[in-house]
Structure 1
Amino acid sequence: MTIENPASVWRLRVELLDVAPPVWRRFDTYADVKLSQLHYFIQGVMGWELMHLFSYQDGRGYGDQISSELRLCDVCRVGDALTYTYDFGDNWQHRVTVEKTMARPKGT
């Protein structure tokens, strides 16, 4: 699956699952970002320290892992979600939801 304009900007919401109170962040990134790069963005906005392994799965949280070399726009559309797991020992699961798409700023 690919989108018509992989050069667009997407607004993402990242929520740490199974914690109270809710912990989430919202940020914008390019739709064509590789999932391996998105990992660094999530680490930054969530305050994690890049110390553990990670994986992506479909939004239901089960099934085959998604290659981190794919682009976000290859696996999602607006309204879709992925499960991002960080630290396989503690199994911190996050829902990454594509909330909306916007035009890329001119000159970028």
Structure 2
Amino acid sequence: MEKVATGGADGADSTLVVRVELVDSEPAIWRQFELRGSMALSQVHQVLQAAFGWDDAHLHRFTADDPFAPLRPVAGEIPEFVQWLPGQECEEPGERPEEDCTLDQLFAVGSGAVFYEYDFGDSWLHRLELMSRRPANAGTAPARLIDGARRGPLEDSGGFPGYEEIMDALADPSHPDYAEHSAWVAEITGSDEPFDPAFLDIPAVNLALADRL
């Protein structure tokens, strides 16, 4: 597992408090982290996978702006859309290796908030907002979850419409799809325990982060 870089060229590093929310989630599904600003985006990807319960089974990208917002012309021309992907997937002019960009650098390009999209089919879009910054203390964890609400949606559940349909069925044993969706959720989670979409185990997430980083 790759280790986190711990400083810039001048040896300085920052701890960033970052709030991450799944766009269009209702009720809101969010996390608040303390993250090293020097973390490569490839490492931030690992953090988000662990914190939202994803399985790293699909493509992902980082962008400095909302990837679905219309591009506004600058001096009469549409600006190049830039996105950061795993290096081996970069093929187009606007694609940059995520391994070569830090979280600090991405926030410097954005305007207070940046974006991470996971699974281009279900399109789980995460909005990352920089809340505060302070000098990093030596020996502190490179990534720590400090707050949040609700577990992440299940893999391959069909985006929010599909996930909400599954949750509606699980909440009503008389629902015609209750048995089918219950069996599918048990297979995906590997557990026959009742699925609680409101549950978030912060200590377990931090153990997973320590293992990944």
Q: Same fold (TM over 0.5)?
A: yes
**Structure showing greater Rg:** 2
1:61 deviation in Å? 2.7
Is 1:100 aligned to residue 132 of structure 2? yes
Q: Secondary structure at the match of 1:32?
A: coil
Q: Contact 2:19–2:128 at 8 Å: present in 1 too?
A: yes
TM-score (norm 1): 0.84
1:21 deviation in Å? 0.8
- Partner of residue 53, structure 1: 59
When the two chains are superposed, the root-mean-square deviation of aligned CA atoms in Å is: 2.4
Q: Percent identity over the alignment? A: 32
State the one-letter code of the partner of 1:71: T
- Using the TM superposition, name which of 49-58 and 98-107 deviates more: 98-107
Q: Contact 2:114–2:128 at 8 Å: present in 1 too?
A: yes
Q: Contact 1:53–1:86 at 8 Å: present in 2 too?
A: yes
Per-residue displacement from partner, 1:62-86 (whole Å, max 9, x unpaired)?
A: 5321331211111214x71111000
Q: Secondary structure at the match of 1:76?
A: helix
1:46 and 1:60 map into 2 onto residues whose CA distance is 20
1:30 deviation in Å? 0.5
More strand by share: 1
- Partner of residue 105, structure 2: 74
Q: Contact 1:9–1:101 at 8 Å: present in 2 too?
A: yes
The counterpart of 2:83, out of the listed 55, 65, 75, is 65
1:6 and 1:96 map into 2 onto residues whose CA distance is 22
1:107 deviation in Å? 4.6
Q: Secondary structure at the match of 2:46?
A: helix
Q: Secondary structure at the match of 2:18?
A: strand
State the one-letter code of the partner of 1:83: F
Query: Aligned in 2, Cα 1:31/1:5: closer, same or farther, shift over 3 Å?
Result: farther
Q: Contact 1:59–1:80 at 8 Å: present in 2 too?
A: no
More helix by share: 2
Q: Secondary structure at the match of 1:43?
A: helix
Number of aligned residue pairs: 106
